[in-house]
A and B are shown apart, each in its own frame.
Chain A
Amino acid sequence: MSQHLYRESQVRVHGNRVIGRREFFKRTALAGAAAGALSWTDCISAQAADLRKRGMSCILLWMQGAPSQFETFDPKPDHENGGETKAIATNVSGIRISENLPEIAKLADKLAIIRSMSTKEGNHQRASYMLHTSYVPTATVRHPSLGSVAAHELADAACELPAFVRIGQVQNGGNGGYLGTAYDAFDVGGGGGRFAGAMGSGGGMTPSNTAITTSADRYRRRLNLLDRLEGAVENPAIAQAAADHRKLYDKAARMIMSEQMKAFELRDEPQSVLDAYGSGAFASGCLLARRLIETGVTFVEVGLGTWDTHQDNFTACKALCGQLDRPYAALLRDLEQRGMLDRTLVVWMGEFGRTPRVNPRGGRDHYPRAFNVVLAGGGVKGGQVIGETTAGGEDVVDSPISEKDLFQSIYQTLKINTHKEFMSPIGRPMKVVEGGAPIPGLTV
């Protein structure tokens, strides 16, 4: 790792004073006091000013299993490949999308629909990695995921929650990679298990192990004892590690005692908002994503799947679109109403598309040659369709958009410098994306 990266990813900072024992205690105590003194809305309004100063943020709606383009954003009702799916008009004349997405159709003026995505990777695991990192997986280097790069480049130091939060199950979505575990996704609602911790009551969306198992007073008493015992160890071998450890525990304790943890309490939302998003895990995930971004989180990924419709494609896609349509639309409206859409890029994508030809089981198989990605917000010019496929959807008509082009576009929108070089652990210079070019005319 380069010195630069080393310094950033390590908590071992020579210049900064390691906070003292008393201060450690005082801070955790203060966090608790703050919890009683300030209401949630106070905190939000106090943050509004910060919000404006803050840089870009991003929500990735990850369609695990690879969604069919024919049943979502590139319907072909006049061709046999299109199957039974009909197209409907949107609020932008000339743009028609699948009948499965009636709510989203009302918001086409906010969408840039890319119909000319094209890659060479038709294997779920490899393609998921690729569409999260812009690289093919290799045993030599672990590339950082999109959210990790965003967290590394854009994170708001004032936010007490992790900069990259992942909601629901996303397989092979990558992590901090060579940027280090500090940039890994912080998982929420990714299933139970013995170490997952008690799920909170906030709609099953509280992250693992953030509920303290004792009273707050006793928790602080424990932190205090830990701090005093750490101070009583006279051991040069682990002195540095202990300083790092203290910082980490301070951060973790501050986080769970933070007022910002209320972002996870979806039931605090007015009924009208809950109704707008609708019900289901994905709806909760979208609402949580908005609340997290509002609180200062940089990147939120929400998974929905599986779209791997090898059989019974039409019924399965209808059901999946049913889970997608309303929360996705509500999210875009909500972000806009709160004045957050301009600074929040919302990406809709999966790892590839589905075959134009419907197989004998009524399914569609893997097809990376021509598929869809949809961008909205973050300064993206809405109401446009980028690229076009042939009448039967087999091929991209004009210039195809590769994963590298897509990542160049996403990073350009988020104002992340793609020329910056990082060092892999074996000293190989790496860029967050190598090659490709941003899509012309994508942003306003």
Chain B
Amino acid sequence: MPTVLTRFKSLPVRPWLKAVLALLPTAFFAGALAAETLNTATSTTAPKVAAASTFQARLDESLIAESQGSAIAGAVTTVKRVDDEAFVRRVYLDIVGQWPTAAELTAFVLDPSANKRSELVSRLLEDRRYGENWGRYWRDVVLYRRAEDRALLMQGTAAQYFSEVLNVNATWDTIAAELITASGDVSEQGSTVLFMAQMGDPNEVASEVSRIFCGVQISCAQCHDHPTDRWKREQFHQLAAFFPRTFVRPVVVDGQQRSYAVDSRDFGPRFMPAGADANNPRFRPIEHYMPDLKDPASQGTLMQPVFFVTGQKLPEEQTDMQRRETLAKWLASPENPWFAKALVNRLWAELVGEGFYEPVDDIGPDRRCSAPKTLELLATEFTKQGYDLKWLYRTILATEAYQRESRPQRNPEDPSFAANCAHRIRADQLYDALLNALGLPSDDAVATGMYQQNPRFALGSPRAQFSRVFGYDPSSKRDEVTGSIPQALLLMNAPNLAAGINGRSTATTLGKLLAEDRKDESVVVELYLRCLAREPNAKELAVCLEHVKQTENRVEAFEDLLWSIVNSTEFLHRQ
């Protein structure tokens, strides 16, 4: 694969490259060449894990040690470390959710610094797009399990909340506590999303708290003791007993329902009135009862709040806030190993492409872990670091496991962690990639304005509509996320995308490119760089040039090319 540098030698100097080069000191070039040599060397030999001086090196060693005897030890030497170009594409998509620009790509490849990978990671973690990208991820984690579509009204506030806390690097226990103790109007307080998503139902909220923060699907025990799990039905309902006093109620202004609010209710009926609709929150008592399976119409057994992992128990008569605050504290205490493991496992799976446990939200003592000691090591250190999220990103992104070349999701019989795994990018990332590739303006600002006017409007924003077609539950196993016919139809035929592909317009990426006095080859290269952050290989270039030659109309030929690139497999994937 030709690197940018080698192509640079054979191609006419592009204007942006000139601008980049002008900024560099002359001494840089010697360094750049040296760096490239170094890079080639590391990518062709087996990656040597440095002396265990760094924590991430210990992680890599542990991972290999755990796989002794399996094929991984051999496999590691066969899957190379990614080259700089592939690394920069991966890390941009993983952190800020967007492809690097050609200038960013070149600057990175030419950078002679030995620490440039970790420096880039640190820099990107300070980019506000880090919070925006991962904020949308967490919004989806919660809202894809919504009980009702009404919860979508707060997708804007939820994403904004997560974006803000991630960008100031709030620790994971702080974020968990804020979500669990949230209250207020859902159109203003994004942290209320966990309750809004389940309309305040104590059983469902308990399920979600356990699933998201412990990775444990204790909800299976809601109706019966699970045959293979240790958690009993009683323990599920003891967890639900932390939430019976948290209610989601409509907010009515001038006789019109404006929004919903999450509220504490410490005074109210302690029993369900006879014959009342058990699902109607109006009749919900302020204590939690475990239903009697033999007599579902009866009141059931009054439950006291107990945290199933540690067995810690609340005294009776605690207020709503006391219950929720205590649970948040117990959840994030070092005595609960699943709090750190759940998050570590989830982020590791997102970044390395494969979790220690899969799916990421079904972990626990009765599930199979592919490298338990390594997970333990990382989770323990994450806890020691005070649940510092950016530390965790920096650590994972510095491992050899992360920096290996990509392969498809492995077959179950193949060794784990032999390569990074390619997977589909998320709807928001694809949306941004399309706007950038076609030069379409973002309407996020307009949508935000409309959202502030009325949350309902945000549901119709182009981004939200696009996400309805391309979105997927981020907790699902990535190899189960498949393309759909409506997705293919949208990318092929949506009229507004067709408008963005228009090469005669002066507003589109392609129109501007074609208006410049460029050779065909240069236009092809620019389109590849813009859309896929790489240059075309020799075969692709030949196909493109042949297509342009065979098509009588040059503008149409390039429209076809741009259409083909945005409809390609690579455009949909992070590798």
Chain A residues near B207 (CB-CB < 8 A): 138-140
CB of A201 within 8 Å of the partner chain: no
User: Is B567 positioned at the interface, with any CB of A under 8 Å from its CB?
Assistant: yes
Q: Tell me whether B496 and A426 are in contact (CB under 8 A).
A: no
Are A138 and B204 neighbours in the complex by a CB distance under 8 Å?
yes
Could you tell me the distance between the alpha carbons of A303 and B484 in the complex, rounded to whole angstroms? 23
B: contact size bracket: 35 or more
Chain A residues numbered 45-86 whose CB sits less than 8 Å from any CB in chain B: none
Asked whether any CB of chain A lies closer than 8 Å to the CB of B53, the reply is no
Query: How distant is B369 from chain A, measured CB to nearest CB, in Å?
Result: 15
**A31 touches B (CB below 8 Å):** no
**Interchain CA distance A232-B570 in the complex, whole Å:** 12
| B560 and A221 contacting across the interface, CB-CB below 8 Å | yes
A1 & B569 in contact (Cβ 8 Å cutoff):
no
Q: Residue A238 contacts which of B150, B198, B490, B573 (CB distance < 8 angstroms)?
A: B573
Hey, which chain A residues are within 8 Å of B147, CB to CB?
A: 125-126, 137, 139
User: Are the C-beta atoms of A172 and B408 separated by less than 8 Å?
Assistant: no
A121, A238, A248 pick with most chain B CB within 10 angstroms? A238
Neighbouring B residues of A126 by C-beta, 8 Å: 147-148, 279
A218 and B560 form a contact (CB under 8 A): yes
Rounded to whole Å, the gap between the CB of B194 and the closest CB of chain A is: 10
Bound-state Cα–Cα, A180 to B407, Å: 23
A178 to B480, CA, bound (A): 10
Chain-A contact segment, one of B113-121, B185-193, B254-262, B539-547 = B539-547
Q: Which of B32-40, B132-140, B244-252, B462-470 contacts A (4 or more CB under 8 A)?
A: B462-470
Determine the distance from Cα of A233 to Cα of B541 in the docked complex, in whole angstroms: 11
Residue among A172, A195, A210 facing the most chain B CB atoms (10 A cut-off): A195
Q: Would you call A91 an interface residue if the criterion is a C-beta within 8 Å of the partner chain's C-beta atoms?
A: no
The answer to whether B220 touches A140, judged by C-beta atoms less than 8 angstroms apart, is yes
Q: Which of A192-211 contact B (CB under 8 A)?
A: 193-198, 207-211
The answer to whether B540 and A233 have CB atoms under 8 Å apart is yes
CB within 8 Å: A-B pair count: 202
| Minimum C-beta distance from A93 to chain B (A) | 38
B485 at the interface (CB under 8 A from A): yes
B281-299 contact mask (Cβ, 8 Å, vs A): 1 or 0:
0000000000000000000
Chain B residues with Cβ below 8 Å from A211 are 493
Known: A140-B220, A225-B547, A235-B570. Is A245-B483 also a contact (CB below 8 A)?
yes
Residue-wise interface mask of A (228-239) relative to B, using a CB-CB cutoff of 8 A (1 in contact, 0 not): 111011111111
Q: Give the CA-CA distance A239 to B409 in the complex, in Å.
A: 11
Which residues does chain B contribute within 8 Å of A182, judged by CB atoms? 482, 484
A139-B204, A140-B220 known; A213+B539 contact, CB < 8 A: no
Chain A 309-328 interface mask (CB, 8 Å, partner B; 1/0) = 00000000000000000000
Q: List, in ascending order, chain B residues with CB within 8 A of A107's CB.
A: none
**A428 and B220 contact, CB distance less than 8 A:** yes
Rounded to whole angstroms, the CA-CA distance of A428 and B486 in the bound complex is: 29
Q: Give a binary string over B553-569; 1 marks a CB under 8 Å from any A CB, 0 the rest.
A: 00010001101110111
Nearest CB on B from A100, distance (A): 29
Give A246's nearest chain B residue, CB to CB. Answer: B569
Q: How long is the Cα–Cα vector from A139 to B142 in the complex, in angstroms?
A: 10
A263 CB to nearest B CB, Å: 15
A186 and B485 contact, CB distance less than 8 A: yes
For A253, the chain B residues whose CB sits under 8 A away are 492
Task: Please pick, from A120, A180, A197, A213, the residue contacting B480 in the complex, using a CB distance under 8 A.
Answer: A180
Does the CB pair B498–A213 fall under 8 Å? yes
Cross-interface CB contact of B575 among A138, A171, A229, A237, cutoff 8 Å = A237
Give complex CA distance A244, B465 in Å: 24
A122 with B280: CB separation less than 8 A: yes
- Give every chain A residue within 8 A of B556 (Cβ-Cβ): 218
Q: Is B233 an interface residue (CB 8 A)?
A: no
Which residues from A are CB-within-8-Å of B406? Answer: 237-238
| Distance of A123 Cα from B466 Cα, bound (Å) | 28
Closest to B499 in A: A213
Q: How far is the CB of B349 from chain A (nearest CB, A)?
A: 14
Of A9, A121, A198, A212, the contact of B279 (CB 8 Å cutoff): A121
Contact of A249 among B477, B547, B567 (CB under 8 A): B567
Is A426 touching B217 in the complex (CB atoms < 8 A)?
Answer: yes
Kindly state the separation between the CA atoms of A88 and B406 in the bound complex, as whole angstroms.
70
Task: Tell me whether A193 and B465 are in contact (CB under 8 A).
Answer: yes
Interchain CB contact (< 8 A) of A425 among B469, B477, B489, B575: B477
**Residues of B contacting A242 in the complex (Cβ-Cβ under 8 angstroms):** 569
Chain B residues with CB under 8 Å of A226's CB are 563-564, 567-568
Give the chain A neighbours of B575 by CB distance below 8 A: 235, 237-238
* Among A181, A208, A237, A248, residue most surrounded by chain B Cβ atoms (within 10 Å): A237
Residue of B476, B480, B539 ringed by the most chain A CB atoms within 10 A:
B480
A256 CA to B490 CA, complexed, in Å = 12
Contact of A241 among B422, B472, B489 (CB under 8 A): B422
Residue on B nearest A426 in the bound complex, by CB = B362
Q: A238-B408, A249-B488, A252-B489 are in contact. Are A181 and B482 (CB under 8 A)?
A: yes
Q: In the docked arrangement, what's the CA distance between A242 and B560, Å?
A: 19
| Chain A residues closer than 8 Å to B220, beta-carbon distance | 140, 426, 428
Q: How far is the CA of A21 from the CA of B97 in the complex (A)?
A: 32
Are A195 and B490 interface neighbours, CB within 8 A?
yes
**Could you say which residues of chain B place their CB within 8 Å of the CB of A228?**
543, 547
Within 8 A of A (CB), among B375-413: 405-409
Contact (Cβ within 8 A) B148 A251: no
* A194 vs B461: C-alpha distance when bound (angstroms): 8
Query: Which chain A residues border B7 with CB–CB below 8 Å?
Result: none
How far is B495's CA from A29's CA once the two chains are assembled, in angstroms? 23
- For A197, give its contact among B149, B494, B564 (CB under 8 Å): B494
* B407 (CB) vs chain A CBs: closest residue: A237
Whether B277 sits at the interface, judged by CB under 8 Å, is yes
A215 to chain B, nearest CB (A): 10
| A10 on interface, CB distance cutoff 8 Å | yes
- Give complex CA distance A211, B498 in Å: 12
Is B551 interfacial (CB-CB < 8 Å)? Answer: yes
**Chain B residues within 8 Å of A, Cβ to Cβ:** 145, 147-150, 197-198, 204, 207-208, 211, 217, 219-220, 277-280, 359, 362, 405-409, 422, 424, 460, 462, 465-466, 469, 472, 476-477, 479-480, 482-486, 488-490, 492-496, 498, 537, 539-540, 542-544, 547, 551, 556, 560-561, 563-565, 567-570, 572-573, 575
Q: 28 A-B pairs, CB-CB below 8 angstroms?
A: A9-B480, A9-B482, A125-B147, A139-B147, A139-B219, A140-B217, A180-B480, A187-B486, A194-B462, A196-B465, A211-B493, A221-B551, A226-B564, A229-B540, A229-B544, A233-B537, A233-B540, A237-B422, A238-B406, A238-B570, A240-B408, A248-B485, A252-B485, A252-B488, A253-B492, A256-B493, A425-B476, A426-B217
Having A180-B482, A184-B486, A241-B569, one finds 10 other A-B pairs with CB under 8 Å, namely A137-B147, A139-B208, A172-B149, A197-B490, A197-B494, A218-B556, A222-B564, A226-B563, A226-B564, A228-B543
Interface residues of A (CB under 8 A from B): 1, 6, 9-11, 120-123, 125-126, 137-140, 162, 171-172, 180-182, 184, 186-187, 193-198, 207-213, 218, 221-222, 225-226, 228-230, 232-242, 244-245, 248-249, 251-253, 255-256, 425-428
